[in-house]
Amino acid sequence: MEIHDLGDGEPEVAVVGAIHGDEPCGARAVERLLDAGLDPERPVRLIVANEAALDAGERYLDADLNRAFPGNPDAEAHEVRLAAELVGALEGCTTFAIHSTQSYAEPFAVIDSMDEVTRAVAPHLPVDAVIQTDAFTEGRLIEHPHTLEVEAGLQGSEAAADNAYWLARAFLAATGAISAPGADDVLDAGGREDVSVFRLRERIPKPDAEAYEVFARNFERVEPGERFAAADGEPLLADESFYPVLLSSNGYRDQFGYVADRVGTLE
């Protein structure tokens, strides 16, 4: 794990990249933040988490790090030990973890619950949606207090790497660590309340098949009876209306994505 501390004192906010080794956008954002010569008003910790998996270009070596928290320092699996180390490094920090997907090109935020940190920070992020995942957080870093995740774009793309950097800058501005781009004051980070909030309800399983297709678009309502995917050419129809999230033909081994409800907007 690679750790860089900026500013004076014990870190109060943290940016974490490369929890998954096949998602390099977060590590590249950390590199750009280091190259930017920031002089933060609040002490900041920048972390490249799973260096070994990043070097290997693999999601993980022994176990999925984002299913291994809080970890165990005595475990045999590399990522389970690393999870415990990372939790220790983030103690006392408001944390921003950067990911990327195979299902959606635009950035969106992922939270455990709509707590005070989410309400304060999320409106300042350049995202069009916030996903509440409280029913599906077991073993994920997002269970750590005062933690937000963001999906920066399509895995391995230049756009995701660029998005990750500006998302991290926006997070640091929203937490008062740096000035917003074009702002003179660290508190002048702007904000908006029209960001849609979705809550995950259930997984969408994949039937056994050789080939999969997806027809619905993430965050766009699917109506009852509408074809949203297919397995070996056999259509899958919606039993009821829902909003698909992280819907992809190849993002997950055993599921297409998630059924979600739109529960409102940030207020």
Give Cα separations from 190 to 75, 125, 179, 239 (angstroms). 44, 9, 11, 41
- Taking residues 94-119, report their average pLDDT: 91
Average pLDDT, the chain: 92
Position 267 in a domain? no
pLDDT at position 66 is 96
Question: Is the pLDDT assigned to residue 117 strictly greater than 90?
Answer: no
Q: What is the mean pLDDT of residues 68-77?
A: 97
**Could you tell me if 9 and 111 lie in one domain?**
yes
Q: Which two tokens stand for residue 122?
A: 């999320």
**Are residue 61 and residue 104 in the same domain, yes or no?**
yes
For the chain, the domain total comes to: 2
State mean pLDDT over 107-126: 88
The reply to whether 266 falls in a domain is no
pLDDT > 90 in the chain, percent = 82
pLDDT tens, residue by residue, 178-203 = 987 655 444 444 566 688 999 999 99
Confirm whether 90 is domain-assigned: yes
To the nearest whole percent, how much of the chain has pLDDT over 70? Answer: 95
Which residues constitute the domain of residue 223? 203-259
Q: Do 170 and 234 lie in a common domain?
A: no
Which range among 98-102, 142-146, 228-232, 243-247 shows the weakest confidence by mean pLDDT? 142-146
Identify whether the C-beta of residue 61 lies closer than 8 Å to the C-beta of residue 79: yes
- Whole-structure pTM value: 0.92
Does 165 lie in the same domain as 112? Answer: yes
Q: What does the radius of gyration of the chain's CA atoms come to, in whole angstroms? A: 19
Structure tokens at 11: 């870190």
Phi, psi of 240 (to 5 degrees): -150, 170
**Segment 39-51, tens digit of pLDDT:** 999 999 999 999 9
